[in-house]
């Protein structure tokens, strides 16, 4: 069954490049980005794994752990890690799950038979500390993932969880945000003392409250 937003993601224990991982224990109280790959030694994924290694300080700032998955085994991953580090000029600083038995791929619905019944699709899962699925994005094989966008979405999710706002199209950290419809305007003016701009009764903007 496909995972849907708000679902509790399933736990698993699987081998990785950093030893056996029980997912729930490994995640702890952090947010998690789990991103899947069809197999080792694929060109687009090699660039993605290197990019995430370079961005890890940005994920750390947001209390986010990152973990990759490929259907090949740990020995194969070890060889791939060497290639990633050499070609992308970085040090891999997070684990890659091995999934040759497709346990995780099946749990997280990563096998799409109309794409390829043997390979995982390239999906990103953003999971919150309560182990709830908050975002899933599935990319075609030819298009590299935009991890700046994934960081932007995490910023939005963490902001909106904490402050009762939503973020508009193309929002970036520091931009004005939307007052959610469940908050009446008069209450919003008290809640957001920086000001509320009522463009329409249902469309009200306020400066980002944590800036």
pLDDT of residue 1: 57
Q: Which of 9, 21, 45, 177 is catalytic?
A: 45
Does the annotation mark 45 as catalytic?
yes
For every residue of 40-80, DSSP letters joined together read SS-HHHHHHHHHHHHHHHHHHHTTEEEEEEESS-HHHHHHH
Where exactly are the structural domains of the chain? 13-144, 164-206
Instruction: Give pLDDT, residue 110.
Output: 83
What does the pLDDT look like over 163-190, one tens digit per residue? 989 999 999 999 999 999 999 999 999 9
Asked if residue 117 has pLDDT above 80, the reply is: no
Instruction: Compute the average pLDDT of residues 41-55.
Output: 96
Both ends of the chain: CA-CA distance in Å? 41
| 145-167 mean pLDDT | 96
Architecture of domain 164-206: 2-Layer Sandwich (3.30)
Percent residues over pLDDT 70 in the chain? 95
From 3.60.20.10, 3.40.190.10, 3.40.30.10, 1.10.630.10, which CATH number describes the 13-144 domain?
A: 3.40.30.10
């Amino acid at each position: 069954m496909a995972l849907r937003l708000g679902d509790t993601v399933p736990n698993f224990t699987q081998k990785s490049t950093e030893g056996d991982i029980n997912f729930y224990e490994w995640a702890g109280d952090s947010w998690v980005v789990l991103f899947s790959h069809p197999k080792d030694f694929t060109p687009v994924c090699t660039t993605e794994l290197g990019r995430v290694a370079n961005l890890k300080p940005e994920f750390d700032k947001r209390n986010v752990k990152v973990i990759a998955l490929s259907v090949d085994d740990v020995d194969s991953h070890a060889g791939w890690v060497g290639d990633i580090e050499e070609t992308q000029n970085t040090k891999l600083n997070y684990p890659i799950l091995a999934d040759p038995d497709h346990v995780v791929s099946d749990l997280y619905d990563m096998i799409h038979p109309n794409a390829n019944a043997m390979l995982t699709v390239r999906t990103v899962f953003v999971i919150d500390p309560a182990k709830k699925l908050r975002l899933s994005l599935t990319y075609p094989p030819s298009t590299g993932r935009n991890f700046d966008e994934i960081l932007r979405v995490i910023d939005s999710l963490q902001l909106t969880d904490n402050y009762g706002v939503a973020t508009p199209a193309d929002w970036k950290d520091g931009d004005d945000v939307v007052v959610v419809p469940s908050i009446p305007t008069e209450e919003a003016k008290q809640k957001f003392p920086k000001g509320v701009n009522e463009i329409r009764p249902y469309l009200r903007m306020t400066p980002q409250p944590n800036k």
